[in-house]
A and B are shown apart, each in its own frame.
Chain A
Amino acid sequence: MLTLTRVDETALAGTMTEIHLKAKGGTDAGRPRVSREKRETVGTVTVENPRMVCRNVNVYYGDKQAIKNVSIDIGCNEVLAMIGPSGCGKSTFIRCLNRMNDTIEGCRVTGDILLDGVNIHDKDVDVVPLRAQVGMVFQKPNPFPKSIYENVAYGPRIHGMARDKSELDAMVETSLKKAGLWEEVKDRMDQPGTGLSGGQQQRLCIARTIAVNPEIILMDEPCSALDPIATSVIEDLIFELRSQYSICIVTHSMQQAARVSQRTAYFHLGDLIEVGPTERIFTNPRHELTQDYITGRFG
């Protein structure tokens, strides 16, 4: 069933590429209507049953504004892809969703971010359960300088998710299997996680994140160091997770965005330029900047 869906999507991606090519070739069919100068978000930012709601979010690093008035919803059982040129604020925005920006000195977030209707910046919201619920895979792999086992077991352990050692072992194994790392590391679980290759570390961090079963998963370029096979394992994982959870993924690969996501958001220099169903964004972007980006004229 799962595989079937995947094949479908891949096929879809293929068609889309063709359509781009046509668009590039000069067909007038999907000509964008919004000019490059406009910075208002194009497309519908709301969804029917949102898990997270962001309204007028601004992020400042000191005096510098990195995110400008961004509003967007993240629905249930949905994969939202965020694309955009390097430095446009994708990581900054995604880090707002589980308040990781709190840890950055001089970083200020304004606006409303609601999780299940509750503002995550409310005084009585505790970041510990918030982050257990909204898990994150960071852009740069950051395994703990501890054993591979400890890396994955850490989350379940601090939350008291396993009753005994065997249950914990099982959790570690499942998580590593889902991240496609189990076969490579099952014989060296007690070796340092920092001793793995870059791609292995990336998958270890994914395993660490999903080990606590977060309901919303923020993935910041989770496949940037992975080969196509490992990438497809992670994409399978995203498919599987979507049936229950919501996922936000930042990616520089438009094929990947097309393959895994239902909606896509395009960021440009801190502005959310365009949001829409993935298929529409890639076939018929309404904003000229989006079109420039997906056709490769900007990037």
Chain B
Amino acid sequence: MNSPIDTAAAPEPQRTIDIVNRSLKRRYRAERRFRFYGLAAIVLSLMFLALLFVSIVAKGYSAFWQTSIRLPIVFDPAVIQQDTLVNADYAALVREALFKKFPQVDGRQDKRQLTALMSSGSVYRLRDMVLKDPDLVGRGAEVWLLADDDVDMLIKGHFRRDLPEAERRVSDKQIAWIEQLESEGRLERRFNTTFLSAGDSREPELAGVWGAVSGSFFTLLITLSLSFPIGVAAAVYLEEFARKNRWTDLIEVNINNLAAVPSIVFGLLGLAVFLNFFGLPRSAPLVGGLVLTLMTLPTIIIASRSALKAVPPSIREAALGVGASKMQMVVHHVLPLALPGMLTGTIIGMARALGESAPLLMIGMVAFIVDIPKGFTDSATVLPVQIYLWSDSPERAFVERTSAAIMVLLAFLVVMNAGAIILRKKFERRW
């Protein structure tokens, strides 16, 4: 065919390499462009993430340091022994110490202002000291006591000192006392253990996240221990055992729909079913966990099903081919291979549950609860609800606490996701 005459008549047949070379530049350009878009998207989202973290940390880190005042407390037996050690009037001890420190203060008004420098929680600190060591009675000691949140805000620079006195929550006199204490080295910002160990409180300096963390823990424990086994069992049944027919199609559609139902609807369902019908206790992690189980189940089922679908059918054939029963095939071969995917889905569901507040509002987990929950039926609140409550509080000191609580929540999320990655790696290593 390639005789010289033919070549002259017909147009020169093009070599593939020439065609390829011609389009090569365009192809590489498209590739570079795509890479650039991808990179830009990642950089942009990282920037937003960084912005979020920076603003939260910048607002919240100061909550981990709290102003304390060192006072020479005299554990006056006359005051303490008027009542039992538990009920004694420790506030009087604080007042006495303050008046001794500032002998020039006179008049009811001024005295009230002076005692207002100290947190009302100082009383509990002194009581605990005495209960722990009753020998203190009759002696004196220098004690670091929490300052009031207004003092703390002033020290942290959240209150401007140059405003007219009437517009300030801290009076000129109080500022003078604070400055005196500061110059004497009696005022210090110390690590705020209260924030990490206490429950909620009306007094910002006494409020902590531990109650909410415990509540979240109990709630998530219920959620995890119900939704993981139920979700995996449902997925395995639907994927491996159920015949594919109209019923399973219907179930599949409904599961997908449930995954898209707004979470508050699950809260209403929980209210109607668990509280009103079954009469379970209000505000309890038990009910919260049940509601969140309903919410996370579809997510876990969907993730588990796609993990099961991703297991090559040849593995199933191999197991069945040597005479494994269906159950053995699933347990020995399919589940180990699908587990990483199932775990990922579970963690995503749990992370969503940890951050969920709307459905819990419906079942009363939004109440103001001071006590730290000790079990599944105690009244409790959870971290996101706590954040919501604090962000709604008027006191300036709750602003930093809101951000700090968000930091705690994010820390838990990071820990959970890291756990998921570790688990996944562990199971994936078994080829």
Give the residue name and chain of the A residue nearest to B244 (CB). A105
Of A100, A144, A208, A211, which is within 8 A of B320 by CB?
Answer: A100
Chain B residues 307-342 with CB under 8 Å of chain A are 312-325, 328, 332-333, 337
Would A158 and B317 count as touching, CB distance under 8 A?
no
Q: In whole Å, how far is B164's beta carbon from the nearest beta carbon of chain A?
A: 76
Residues on B with C-beta less than 8 A from A69 are none
With A105-B244, A145-B337: A131-B317 Cβ-Cβ less than 8 Å:
no
A95-119 Cβ-contact flags toward B at 8 Å (1 or 0): 0001010010100000000000000
Of A128, A129, A142, A155, which is within 8 A of B315 by CB?
Answer: A142
Of A127, A144, A208, which is within 8 A of B333 by CB?
Answer: A144
B249-278 Cβ-contact flags toward A at 8 Å (1 or 0): 000000000000000000000000000000
B247 at the interface (CB under 8 A from A): no
B371-402 Cβ-contact flags toward A at 8 Å (1 or 0): 00000000000000000000000000000000
Give the residue name and chain of the B residue nearest to A154 (CB). B322
Q: Give the interface SS of chain B, mostly helix, strand, loop or mixed.
A: helix
Give the residue name and chain of the B residue nearest to A194 (CB). B431
With A100-B320, A103-B317, A138-B321: A146-B328 Cβ-Cβ less than 8 Å:
no
With A158-B324, A192-B431: A103-B316 Cβ-Cβ less than 8 Å:
yes
Would B317 and A212 count as touching, CB distance under 8 A?
no
Q: Which of B314, B316, B322 has the most CB of A within 10 A?
A: B322
Would B323 and A128 count as touching, CB distance under 8 A?
yes
B26 at the interface (CB under 8 A from A): no
Would A98 and B321 count as touching, CB distance under 8 A?
yes
Would A155 and B322 count as touching, CB distance under 8 A?
yes
Would B321 and A135 count as touching, CB distance under 8 A?
yes
Would B325 and A128 count as touching, CB distance under 8 A?
yes
Give the residue name and chain of the B residue nearest to A205 (CB). B318
* Cα–Cα, bound, A297→B319 (Å): 39
Q: In whole Å, how far is B252's beta carbon from the nearest beta carbon of chain A?
A: 14
Of B316, B322, B328, B431, which is within 8 A of A209 by CB?
Answer: B322
Of A129, A144, A211, which is within 8 A of B318 by CB?
Answer: A144
Q: In whole Å, how far is A234's beta carbon from the nearest beta carbon of chain B?
A: 17
Would B319 and A144 count as touching, CB distance under 8 A?
yes
B29 at the interface (CB under 8 A from A): no
A163-201 Cβ-contact flags toward B at 8 Å (1 or 0): 000000000000000000000000000001011000000
Would B430 and A145 count as touching, CB distance under 8 A?
yes
B397-431 Cβ-contact flags toward A at 8 Å (1 or 0): 00000000000000000000000000000000011
Residues on B with C-beta less than 8 A from A98 are 321
Give the residue name and chain of the B residue nearest to A127 (CB). B320
Q: In whole Å, how far is B328's beta carbon from the nearest beta carbon of chain A?
A: 6
Q: In whole Å, how far is B192's beta carbon from the nearest beta carbon of chain A?
A: 51
Would A131 and B322 count as touching, CB distance under 8 A?
yes
* Cα–Cα, bound, A56→B151 (Å): 94
Give the residue name and chain of the A residue nearest to B333 (CB). A144
Would B321 and A158 count as touching, CB distance under 8 A?
no
Chain B residues 324-366 with CB under 8 Å of chain A are 324-325, 328, 332-333, 337
Would A131 and B318 count as touching, CB distance under 8 A?
no
With A142-B314, A144-B318, A205-B318: A129-B431 Cβ-Cβ less than 8 Å:
no
Interface residues in A, total, Cβ within 8 A:
30
A136 at the interface (CB under 8 A from B): yes
Would B431 and A136 count as touching, CB distance under 8 A?
no
Would A142 and B317 count as touching, CB distance under 8 A?
yes
Would B321 and A136 count as touching, CB distance under 8 A?
yes
Would B315 and A100 count as touching, CB distance under 8 A?
no
Q: In whole Å, how far is B291's beta carbon from the nearest beta carbon of chain A?
A: 36
Chain A residues 240-278 with CB under 8 Å of chain B are none
Residues on A with C-beta less than 8 A from B332 are 154, 158
Residues on A with C-beta less than 8 A from B317 are 100, 103, 138, 142
Residues on B with C-beta less than 8 A from A140 are 314
A13 at the interface (CB under 8 A from B): no
Residues on A with C-beta less than 8 A from B318 are 138, 142-144, 205, 208
Would A146 and B431 count as touching, CB distance under 8 A?
yes
Residues on B with C-beta less than 8 A from A155 are 322-323
Residues on B with C-beta less than 8 A from A138 are 314, 317-318, 321
* Cα–Cα, bound, A140→B317 (Å): 11
Would B313 and A103 count as touching, CB distance under 8 A?
yes
* Cα–Cα, bound, A155→B328 (Å): 11
Q: In whole Å, how far is B168's beta carbon from the nearest beta carbon of chain A?
A: 70
* Cα–Cα, bound, A145→B320 (Å): 15
A22 at the interface (CB under 8 A from B): no
Residues on A with C-beta less than 8 A from B337 are 145
A159 at the interface (CB under 8 A from B): yes
Q: In whole Å, how far is A163's beta carbon from the nearest beta carbon of chain B?
A: 19
Of B313, B316, B323, B430, which is within 8 A of A158 by CB?
Answer: B323
A216 at the interface (CB under 8 A from B): no
9 extra interface residue pairs, beta carbon distance < 8 Å, beyond A103-B317, A144-B333: A100-B321, A132-B322, A138-B317, A142-B317, A143-B318, A144-B315, A158-B328, A192-B431, A209-B321
22 contacts between A and B (CB under 8 A): A98-B321, A100-B317, A100-B321, A131-B321, A131-B323, A135-B321, A135-B322, A138-B314, A138-B317, A140-B314, A142-B312, A142-B315, A142-B317, A146-B430, A146-B431, A154-B319, A158-B324, A158-B332, A159-B323, A209-B322, A211-B322, A212-B322
9 smallest beta-carbon distances between A and B, as pairs: A132-B323, A142-B314, A155-B322, A145-B431, A131-B323, A142-B318, A192-B431, A136-B321, A128-B325
- Interfacial residues, chain A to chain B (CB-CB below 8 A): 98, 100, 103, 105, 127-129, 131-132, 135-136, 138, 140, 142-146, 154-155, 158-159, 192, 194-195, 205, 208-209, 211-212
- Interfacial residues, chain B to chain A (CB-CB below 8 A): 244, 312-325, 328, 332-333, 337, 430-431
